[in-house]
Structure 1
Amino acid sequence: MKAAFYTLGCKLNQVETEALVSAFREQGVSIVSSDNQADIYVVNTCTVTSKSEQKARRMIRKFSRDNNSSLVIATGCYVQMEEEEVLSLGDNVVTVSLDDKDTILDLAAFIGSYRFDLRELKSRTALWLQEHLATSKPDGGERFRYSPADFNFHSRAFLKIQDGCDNSCAYCRVTIARGASVSLDSDEIINRLNQLAGKGYREVVLTGINIDSYQSGDLDLAGLLKKILEETRGFRIRLSSLEPDTLTEQMCGVLADERICPHFHLSVQSGSDVILKAMRRNYTSETIREAVRQLRVVKDDPFIAADIIAGFPGETESDLEESMKIITELNFARAHVFPFSPRPGTEAYDITPKVPERETVLRAARLRKASEESYKSYISRSIGKEAVILLEHCDDNGLWYGFSETYIRFAVENVDKGAQAGQMAVCKIKDLSAGTGSAVFHKFQ
């Protein structure tokens, strides 16, 4: 029995796929890459942009058409929003909603325990899914069952601490798909983190749809981080995307701890107050500036990245210039620029006037060019400094690759023999002119 997995979208989807891979492997199922022949394909979809949906449709249709005796299981946010459309992509396609996604973990055990004829795979599995999905679940399922024993695609570990979102941003369809914010109990987070540390993981990424909205009892995200720092040891902590308005002086005081990576990804979206208001974001451009200032007070030249949307309905040339200004003025190490994608069911879908698609593409290109200049400025300051790099893999020439605490990818020279993936290496940065920088090994940490 062979299974293949294909994931689109956010880190949370990646975490959930990791857990599914672990569950299938534990049941004796061979895991193969998605470009190989498999008996089961699991596609974890995204609905953030129309392009992500198009790619999901293309891959589901391809897996279904090229492997008509196999079963294609589609799940994720796109499936949640457009289930009938996904089912129409192939006769061997079945769908699993977000509330029921954890059922796929149990499917692995079903497949592992039943040695039926592979020709009956689709009918048997589809029947099993139908029976189990009909069983009611409290609170819409068990969203935090995803706790993979081993991470098959990464040397760092990921821990899902939150799901859903209470914001009502005008452009976002994920909120509709994922529902209200829910959080994993803080004691269970500590338990899972200590398990990961016991397995030797030296970096853990805390992830969710909107981790800023974390709430367990009287603990918010800042309180959770304090608890983690007090009750765990042995690994550094990386955070997924953060909202500018949550980066208060108190929160940044917690982020100052040396175990928290100096790498922050801010959900900025625009530098224009007019557009931020139209987007229904809960902050202004001045909030963004203050958040960045606070981060640079508590961390020494941190890598600060930002999401920016180009071509939001009603965006003028002046609004675009405000976004350009905030990239250059704040010297973001990198801006992830997304052309606006109108999502059915969202407020922004009907907002006018629309920015023509061709113009949106041109605006995105201008923002990316500004980002490139900021990136060059950042990396020029890094040459000659030391970095602590998490080693991930070694090529045939003995050259190791990994990511620094600032999440820059490096090729590391002269690493001691016997090095293993997952080890931390203190290195001196040699060059960062290419997409992958180079560094020279000094010692293990």
Structure 2
Amino acid sequence: MGFIIDSDDMYRKFNCLLNQEFFVDKSNIINDFNKLIDKDGSNNVCITKPRRFGKTSIAAMLTTYYSKGFNSQEIFDKLKVSKGKNSINKILKEDIKKIYPKSNILNNNEEDKIDNLIYNLQYLHIETKDIFIIIIDEWDYLISNNVFPHEEKVKYIRFLKSLIKDKGYSAFVFMTGIMPIEKSILNCFVEYSMLKDKKYYQYFGFTEQEVRDLCEKNKKINKNRKIKYEDLENWYNGYKAYNGEKIFNPWSIYHALNRDKIKNYWNGTGRFDELVNIINFNILGVKDDILKLIKGNKIEIELEGFGTENILNGLKNNEETSESDMKTELYSKMVTFGFLTYYDGKISIPNKELEEKFVKVLKSNKDMKYYYDIINNSKIEEYDNVLNFIPINEYPPNSEKKRKIDQKSDGIYKRLRSVTKRKKMIRK
């Protein structure tokens, strides 16, 4: 693991963002964070959102703004943050090694680097009375990567706690990731996730007004471009904030406008390989629910957080964990990764882009593809054909296997009847 002090990489990254045609100014979040600096109990913020929702962009902006390594005042004087009462202007711009010659923060001894980081921050704070702003992007990379053994993951979390918790040198900590810290020992953070965020949701993803503004800008750039707001809304909208406000996938919006083409841009941005395992996982009702969701239904369920401890311990499919709890955990995970959205106590597939991915996953499962095709085409008359694939007469009438097959058959029949009835009502 490496440590970066006043990183030029983040500075260059943010400058690249500024120069993009479809840059969206999210700098007001800095004014929100400036209010938290050196405020005990609320100055450690963790933002956990799906991949490609702007977390690294915000981290790059914060690094550029707060860093003493380069002058950024000219950049931010042109952005929204400059209009806030809590804007901070910095004048000290020197190399940290020159300022603190006794410090060995930047040494290359990997064996001692972790201990040195904490020691040097403490030393600098005592010697200079300076306080530090710590920015950690993708904190959960090590946790969610199977390359690292369990022991290393536990050690890493303990290190983070030692680095941050109750440290006098820390004025503010901003940490991002996909995996929520809920249920972990990192209880020194105030966390804002896809399930719980009433404060910073508008900074991660694009709001409806931001997308409309981008569409207007797109027209001015080139009148021949065809994409309209309604196209973007249909394909990339659907995430909901706690108050019902629309949140769009920023990665997909950017690429659709940049290429002037509506298509699925989720490839490579989400862990859909895990979705296959979720669908195939032997939990009561999951496959049925997926079919309902694809047909546009919403499912009422009370979700709890899915977090680090779930990853460290793994999904527990045993007698101690009820199927209801396991289902709740799985759906919480799908919301965490951005596969589903959760609003007003109900889960649903956010948009056409995600629906297309769900269908693709279903069609990769031979059994599920067959049921999906029948339901999608409302071919209730093919129910008998479905039953022909189930060897009902091969088992004794009162056997457990026969009972389970009957239940499965009845469930399929009810689903087909329900969907067909719904489609007929829609046609009328």
Category of TM-score, reference length = shorter chain? under 0.3
TM-score, normalising length: structure 1 = 0.24
TM-score, normalising length: structure 2 = 0.24
Structure number with greater Rg is 2
Q: Which has the higher contact order (CA 8 A, sep 6+)?
A: 2
Structure (1 or 2) with the greater helix fraction: 2
